[in-house]
């Protein structure tokens, strides 16, 4: 995404003069457009794709998780090291505010059994349609003008340069204020491909490397070669339910022995490793551990039983029954859990009751690598928050704002990511409004 066109071609291109140019039609960009439109500001929104909100629609395919109902203190803690900055965005638009925003669009919400909040219809499309209708036909304010199939190439001086799909020329735009809301690098086929990073780097803007977040992992396996063919062929694609996953304290950490992550849930065995909600929730710690050399997750296959109960059942005389039949009878262990036990435990461990009982409650799974960022649900890294004003304007490029997933923060699944993206868009929109 660099300017390769000859200067003469750029000089001949007409210039569109606008109040505000928003580059990127995801939740952050649309929310900023909403704020500005309702305040009577003329907004032109540009996106490389044929339509906006493509990743938003995909996220809602199985049920759009808008936000979470937990108390604000706990909600804000989900953003880890970036909690102070993200909390500022959420002070303007928190979970309750997101529900009110949806309600104003005619979309009612409900709280699920896990505390997550969903639209009543569970789908993203009705919400997006209502939102776009308000942007194009506001009851008060100025309609947003959309420019689809316009890929941003960068700047020529202070002029934004876009390449319209299927056109040999370019479009030049002079804006009083610009918001970049280009997403991260996950799901590039939906438009967020991270191609903006080199353009900003050339401008001297500080960036953290883009990394996968809420991602799956490839495993090392007992022999260091991933899953065995026997295990992979039998269990890839199967869910591992009712387990607990722990990421232990780093060596030398204080307090000693306190896990950094310890939660119950489920995940899925893949051809090369593991993925799914429980793994995604622990992925930030696991990914960062891999960056320091090695990572492993520790599984409790029987979280409803104490270690003493498991040891008692493993030691129980099994007579002529096989070990597998014995464990199924006493502990209800079979299927993928039994397969994983055989996959990761040595014959000596399986033959010793104490070692086997310990393995059932503390089964280590060594990881080889995170799956590629293009496969991840979201992205970590991006524009350094230290280089932004509280209103999310680039200190090095006054008049240019950034919002959404292209900023250097991350969040687990559960509505946190979407809520903070929306909140950052509102924050940037209000900042633009104030400075205009």
Per-residue pLDDT reduced to its tens digit, 392-404 = 999 999 999 999 9
This prediction has a pTM of 0.89
Give the separation between CA 219 and CA 369, rounded to whole angstroms.
7
Average pLDDT score over residue span 370-396: 95
The confidence band for 352, taking pLDDT boundaries of 50, 70 and 90, is very high
* pLDDT at residue number 148: 96
* pLDDT at residue number 189: 87
Average pLDDT score over residue span 257-267: 88
* Cβ atoms < 10 Å from Cβ of 184: 30
The confidence band for 249, taking pLDDT boundaries of 50, 70 and 90, is confident
**141-198: per-residue pLDDT in tens?**
899 999 999 999 999 999 999 999 877 789 999 999 999 999 999 988 888 899 999 9
Closest-CA residue to 278 (of 303, 257, 253, 256): 303
Q: Does residue 7 register a pLDDT over 70? A: no
Q: Does residue 262 register a pLDDT over 70? A: yes
Could you tell me if 253 and 191 are in contact, meaning their C-beta atoms sit under 8 angstroms apart? Answer: no
Assign domain 7-211+376-435 to its CATH superfamily.
FAD/NAD(P)-binding domain (3.50.50.60)
Give the separation between CA 141 and CA 250, rounded to whole angstroms.
53
Could you tell me if 94 and 46 are in contact, meaning their C-beta atoms sit under 8 angstroms apart? Answer: no
Q: Does residue 277 register a pLDDT over 70? A: yes
Could you tell me if 61 and 124 are in contact, meaning their C-beta atoms sit under 8 angstroms apart? Answer: yes
Could you tell me if 295 and 218 are in contact, meaning their C-beta atoms sit under 8 angstroms apart? Answer: no
Two structure tokens written together for 345? 């435990």
Give the separation between CA 179 and CA 174, rounded to whole angstroms.
13
* Cβ atoms < 10 Å from Cβ of 291: 11
What percentage of residues in the chain have a pLDDT greater than 70?
96
Any bridge partners for residue 163, and if so which?
151
Question: What is the pairing mode between strands 239-247 and 109-111?
Answer: unpaired
For 58, counting Cβ atoms within 10 Å of its Cβ (0-12 exposed, 13-18 middle, 19+ buried), the class is middle
Closest-CA residue to 382 (of 198, 201, 210, 164): 210
Average pLDDT score over residue span 68-84: 95
**297-338: per-residue pLDDT in tens?**
999 999 999 999 999 989 998 888 888 898 898 888 889 999
Q: Which of 209-218, 242-251, 260-269, 406-415 has the lowest mean pLDDT?
A: 242-251
For 282, counting Cβ atoms within 10 Å of its Cβ (0-12 exposed, 13-18 middle, 19+ buried), the class is buried
State the span(s) of the chain assigned CATH 3.50.50.60.
7-211+376-435
């Amino acid at each position: 995404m660099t300017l390769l066109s000859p200067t003469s071609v750029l000089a001949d291109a007409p210039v569109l003069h606008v109040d505000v140019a928003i580059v990127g039609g995801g939740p952050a960009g649309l929310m900023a457009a909403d704020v500005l439109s309702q305040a009577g500001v003329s907004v032109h929104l540009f996106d490389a794709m044929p339509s906006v909100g493509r990743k938003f629609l995909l996220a809602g395919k199985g049920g759009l998780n808008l936000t979470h109902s937990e108390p604000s203190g706990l909600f804000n803690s989900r953003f880890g090291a970036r909690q102070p900055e993200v909390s500022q965005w959420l002070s303007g638009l928190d979970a309750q505010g997101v529900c009110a925003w949806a309600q104003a669009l005619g979309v009612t919400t409900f709280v699920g059994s896990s505390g997550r909040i969903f639209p009543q219809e569970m789908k993203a499309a009705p919400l997006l349609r209502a939102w776009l209708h308000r942007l194009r036909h506001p009851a008060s304010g100025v309609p947003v003008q959309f420019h689809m199939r316009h890929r941003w190439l960068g700047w020529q001086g202070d002029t934004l340069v876009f390449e319209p799909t299927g056109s040999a020329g370019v479009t030049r735009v002079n804006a009083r204020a610009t918001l970049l809301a280009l997403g991260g690098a996950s799901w590039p086929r939906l438009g967020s491909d991270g191609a903006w990073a080199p353009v900003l780097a050339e401008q001297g803007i500080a960036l953290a490397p883009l990394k996968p977040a809420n991602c799956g992992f490839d495993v090392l396996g007992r022999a260091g070669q991933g899953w065995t063919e026997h295990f992979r062929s039998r269990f890839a694609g199967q869910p591992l339910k009712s387990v607990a996953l722990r990421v232990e304290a780093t060596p030398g950490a204080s307090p000693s022995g306190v896990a950094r992550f310890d939660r119950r849930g489920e995940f899925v065995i893949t051809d090369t490793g593991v993925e799914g909600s429980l793994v995604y929730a622990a992925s930030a710690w696991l990914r960062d551990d891999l960056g320091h050399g090695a990572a492993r997750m520790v599984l409790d296959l029987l979280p409803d039983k104490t270690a003493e109960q498991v040891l008692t059942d493993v030691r129980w005389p099994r007579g002529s029954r096989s070990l597998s039949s014995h464990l199924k009878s006493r502990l209800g262990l079979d299927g993928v859990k039994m397969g994983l036990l055989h996959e990761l435990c040595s014959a000596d461990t399986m033959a010793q009751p104490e070692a086997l009982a310990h393995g059932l409650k503390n089964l280590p799974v060594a990881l080889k690598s995170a799956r590629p960022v293009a496969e991840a649900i979201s992205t970590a890294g991006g524009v350094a928050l230290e280089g932004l004003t509280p209103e999310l304007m680039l200190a090095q490029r006054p008049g240019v704002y950034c919002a959404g997933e292209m900023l250097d923060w991350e969040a687990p699944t559960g509505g946190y990511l979407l809520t903070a993206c929306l909140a950052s868009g509102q924050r940037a929109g209000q900042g633009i409004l104030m400075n205009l």
